[in-house]
Structure formats: structure tokens, C-alpha cells
Structure 1
Amino acid sequence: MKRWPTACAPWPPTVSAADAPDSEAPAGEVAEAVVAFLADAERAGRLSARSLDAYRRDLKRLVAWAGRRGIDRLDQLDLHALRGFAAAEMRAGLDPRTIQRRLSAVRKWFGWLLREGRVAGNPAADLRAPRVRRKLPTTLDPDQVLKLLELPGTGPLDVRDRALMELCYSSGLRVSELADARWSRLDEREGLLRVIGKGNKERIVPVGRHALTALAAWRPVHLERTGGGQDIIFTTRTGTPLSVRSIQQRITQRAREQGLDQHVHPHQLRHSFASHILESSGDLRAVQELLGHANLTTTQIYTHLDFQHLAEVYDRTHPRARGRR
């Protein structure tokens, strides 16, 4: 079996000071194989500089761990040993996502070693990473949303921001979709908006009557500022399109002015829209279509939000619930 292609450096390669693993790990076969993998990946240009640095950091952790246990040969790094490495990282208190990334680097490295004929198999292929606990998105309850949307004032920015937040919550738009919303895509008669979402995918979303009313109030102000030459719905004082960052800042500022005691952002309004629709209808497929999710599993997180709400009600009201005295 061919061990090394002619393009690769002879084995074993020299361990440079920059690539040498932690001083506590000996520069044995494992360490040299890591250096060779990184050098080959850099030569081939398969990885970006950022990815290469991440692989270097992650694999050095493996080499250091192996060195402390007297493991310096590749055939000693079997599935049992790699599970020990993953367990050690967990005991060190690392985030499961970090451990997943490190194990992914180990799989890539072993895949390369297998292709180069340095190992007979890839023990990391069957290595399972710790499960990442999915964080539930924070939402506003209906009363909080109502408080946010009851924005006072009749100034141009008040009218614009009211329309901005009404449309965001009414249609569950992403902030990028909100920034790209256009008058030419709005059907006021039917209460529909054509949206270009992720992956340049188009969908039609309903626009509620309160949002339509707010948009109708904003439209003449917009026309006066832009002279009718701007199709983007939400614009600045000078008539230029409002950026994603500006929209985020405006909604956060307005929530603070309305006395909401939490950080509010556009995606939180989108989460609230989805959660409230699901609580009322129980139709997960409909929520998927409204949000523009390509995969139903992405939408299923809102079923957890709904259950969380039920659990809170239970804890608050049931005589035998844990939270009651």
C-alpha cells in the first residue's frame, strides 16, 4: 500500500516550534502525524486560515492529552482512548459545542491518515459527541407585544417605527427580510407581502390589519421623503434604505422606551409570532410555511416553547406543583 504521495513531505516530518504541541506532550508519532496533516492541508489549500488555526488548536489538545497518558503511537488511539479524550474535555467543563468541534477535527485527521495509509481504520468515525442542549429562543407574551406596539407619537420616526414593528410581528419576518421589504411586493387589498428569504427563496406572507393600517400611515411620509423613487419600505430621514443594524437598534430602543424590562430584538418578535400562532392553532406545518423554514425540524423548536408555557402554567396553578407553597 502506498504510504505517502510524492507531493507530501517524507515521514516523519520535522516538528516546528510554531506547530509543536504543548510541552507536556512528547513529539512522538501522534504529534508528528498532526503536524503532517496540518502541513498537507495548508499546502493543498483545502482549509481557510481560520479553519486551519482551529484544527491546530483542537488537535494539539488531543496530542497533549495523549502525551499525559503515555500514548505516542497512532495504533494506541482506538475508540476507547478517544472516548477518554472526549470525557476528559467534558470534565474540564468545556461547552458541548466546543467538544463537538474538537471531535470533528479528530475525525478529519483520522480520515486523512486513513487515506494516506497510516492507519487501518478510522476509530473516530463511531465517536459520538455530547449532545448540545438546544437553547430555546426567548419570546414576548401577547401583553408585552401589545405594550411594545402601542407606540405613542405622530412624528415621522414614530410613524415609521410603528409600521416597522407591526410588520415584523404581524408577518414573522427575519430582520433581513424586513430591511428588504418593498412597496411593489405589498398587496394591500389582499393583505399579502411577497418576501425574498434565505437562499433567495420567495414566499407569500399575510399582513395583519393593524400592520396594514400602520403601513398606510407611513406611506405618504415615505413618499414625501423619497419623492416616490424608493421602493424599499423602511428608510432613514434622508430617504436611504434602513440597514439591518439600524432596525435592530430602533426596536431595542423602542422597547426600552416602552418600559419592557428585557432586551428586545427583531428575531424575538419573529419567535413571538411563531409561538403565538402555534399556541392558538397547533398547526406546525402552517408555522413552517409562514416562517419560510426549509425543514420542519427547524420549526419544531416552537413546540418546546409551547410546552414550556404549559409547564409554567402548571407550576403556577396546580396544587401539587413544585413552585407552590
Structure 2
Amino acid sequence: MSEESGQIQAAVEDFAEHARLVLGRSENTVRAYQSDLALLTGVIDHFADFTLENLRLWLADAVAQGKARSTLARRTASVRAFSTWAYHQGYIEADVAARLVTPKINRPLPTVVRPETAETMVSGEATEEERASGPESLRDRAMLELLYATGMRVGELTGLEVGDLDFGRNLAKVTGKGNKQRVVPFGAPAERAVKAWLDGGRPELAEEGEVALFVGSRGKRIDPRQVRRVVERAAQRAGAADVTPHSMRHSAATHLLEGGADLRVVQELLGHSSLQTTQIYTHVSAQRLKKVYDQAHPRA
């Protein structure tokens, strides 16, 4: 095997295509892989030096630079994925990075809005400026209703097409991470809001031939950043701070659990591949339960 300089760098491009086309990783994940591995190739540029010891030294150097645990965890995940691919491709004789330990990340509990705040956000009175926007106001209401009704990610919302909604059964076909599809239900308020947008708003905005459910002012598929701005405005109107589309997702999951939904049902709704990911919401619910107990019980 040639040990020419840049050997790993060339292989990274092939790995990125494999991650994108075969593994179905999102563009954000592929870019993270490429960014992390570009840093690696600045230190290890051919497979003869791709050893567990050198990989540990590379990560130790990141620690010395004061990099966050989340950064270290992401770099570890990137090099482990690359190592597995390189082993199967025959570039290395063993999957050396498989023995790297991923640093544990102390994740903060997700932001959750109260049910009454969420209600105000999705169905509260629009401002005069918002009402004047006409079709955009109908679109924004529909997006907020769907986000809270389904707990879908903002990228999943913007990826919806008109044909993905089944109003006969009130189901939406959602394409999640890794192009995995799932079907999620939505209630009557979301149904009314989306139908109002389809009947009275979208025809005015959508460019001819556009299949996206939600479009921007130019008639093309709406950008996730614009959805975030819509959520932020709705939160301000409801007197809430630091609310994002992901907060709506967290809130939907938490409110379902507090209402008695089974954890595996919430897992399916959110599109989590692991039940462990969904279990974060049980901590949120328990935290809120403790707060209510402390306020209400005479011997708390």
C-alpha cells in the first residue's frame, strides 16, 4: 500500500460519498465528518500512521486546546465512522478507532414551554402586522400547529410536500434523519390550519409546479431559518423567551408523556432510533412533577 502524502485526504472524499449515498447521512452530518477528518489529515496523512496511539494523541491535543466535550465527542464519532469504512475497504488491517471512548456529554435538559404557552403560540391572536401579511399569516399558523401537533423537526417540516398529508386519516408522512420515513398523526386544529393555508394562502404564494407544502414569499420551499423566525415571533407574542422549533418538539413530547402517552409511542412519533434518546423527556416530566409536588403538597 502506498504511503504517499495525502492518502487519507483522498480517501475522505470517498468516505463522504459513502456516508451520503449508502448510509443516508444528512448533509450536516457529512459536512461534520469532512470538517473533523480534514483536521485529522493535518496530523495523520497516510494509513501507516492511522493507529490507535496516534488517534488518541490527536484527541489529547484537542483537550489541551480546551475544546468542548461536545466537540471531542463529535470528532471521536467522525473518526470511528471513517475507521470502520476504511477497514471494510481494506485500507487498514483492523478497525483501530473502534476502541476510542466517546467522551460523555452533560446535556442540559431541553427547554419546554407550558401547555398554555404553547396554546397561545399556535393559536393566539396575530398582530396587526401579521394579519396584514395575508397568506403568510395563514402559513405561519399552519406551521406552528403542525410543529406542536407532531413534534417533527424543523427540517422535516420544511421537507413536507403537499402530497405527504392524508386528511382522511389526519396523518403526515415525514422524512427524517437518514431519509427514514415515518407516519405521524395530527389533530383537528392542525388540520383546520393547514387546510386554510392550502385553500386561502398557498395558491397566492406558491410558484407553479412547486410541490413543497410550505413556501416562502418567492414561491419556493421555505427555508428553516424563516420557520425559526416565525416561532420566535410567536413566542414573543406569548411572553416566552428562548423558544425555538426544537423547543416545540421537546414540548410536544413532554406534554404527551404528561398526558399518559407510552414512551415507545413518543419514540415512534419523534422518529428516534433509540428509546434511550426519548428517555430524556421522562427526566423533564419528572422535574416538572417534583416542582408541582413541592408547591402543592402540605408536607413537601
The TM-score normalised by the length of structure 2 is 0.68
More moved, 183-192 vs 97-106: 97-106
SS state at 1:46 partner: helix
Alpha carbons of structure 1 residues 58 and 300: separation in structure 2 relative to 1, 3 Å: farther
Alignment-derived partner of residue 243 in structure 2: 264
SS state at 1:281 partner: coil
Root-mean-square deviation (Å): 4.1
Alignment-derived partner of residue 268 in structure 2: 289
Alignment-derived partner of residue 192 in structure 2: 213
Describe how 1:301-316 pairs up with structure 2 within 5 A. 301-316=280-295
Alignment-derived partner of residue 221 in structure 2: 241
1:263 is displaced (CA, Å) by: 2.0
Alpha carbons of structure 1 residues 52 and 319: separation in structure 2 relative to 1, 3 Å: same
The higher radius of gyration belongs to: 1
SS state at 1:195 partner: strand
Q: Deviations over 1:253-298 (max 9, x none)?
A: 2322x14331222121111111111121241110011112222222
Give the helix-richer structure, 1 or 2: 2
Alignment-mate amino acid for residue 144 of structure 1? T
Between the two proteins, what is the percent identity of the paired residues? 35
More moved, 91-100 vs 129-138: 91-100
Alignment-mate amino acid for residue 217 of structure 2? R
Q: Deviations over 1:212-235 (max 9, x none)?
A: 111222222235414875432222
Task: Identify the match of residue 114 of structure 2 among 122, 141, 144.
Answer: 141
| Cα distance in 2 for residues equivalent to 1:129 and 1:47 | 21
Alignment check: 8 A CA contact 1:136 1:305 kept: yes
| Cα distance in 2 for residues equivalent to 1:123 and 1:182 | 43
Q: Which has the bigger relative contact order, CA under 8 A and spacing at least 6?
A: 2
Alignment-mate amino acid for residue 235 of structure 2? A
Describe how 1:125-164 pairs up with structure 2 within 5 A. 128=101, 130-153=103-126, 154=131, 155-164=134-143
Unaligned runs of 5+ in 1: 10-37, 60-76
Q: Deviations over 1:117-169 (max 9, x none)?
A: 9xxxx999877565321232211110110121233245322222111100111
Alignment-mate amino acid for residue 247 of structure 1? V
Describe how 1:147-226 pairs up with structure 2 within 5 A. 147-153=120-126, 154=131, 155-222=134-201, 224-225=203-204, 226=206
Alpha carbons of structure 1 residues 180 and 127: separation in structure 2 relative to 1, 3 Å: closer
Task: Identify the match of residue 46 of structure 1 among 11, 16, 32.
Answer: 11
The TM-score normalised by the length of structure 1 is 0.63
| Cα distance in 2 for residues equivalent to 1:292 and 1:175 | 13
Q: Deviations over 1:189-223 (max 9, x none)?
A: 32222222222222221111111111222222235
Task: Identify the match of residue 257 of structure 2 among 278, 296, 299.
Answer: 278
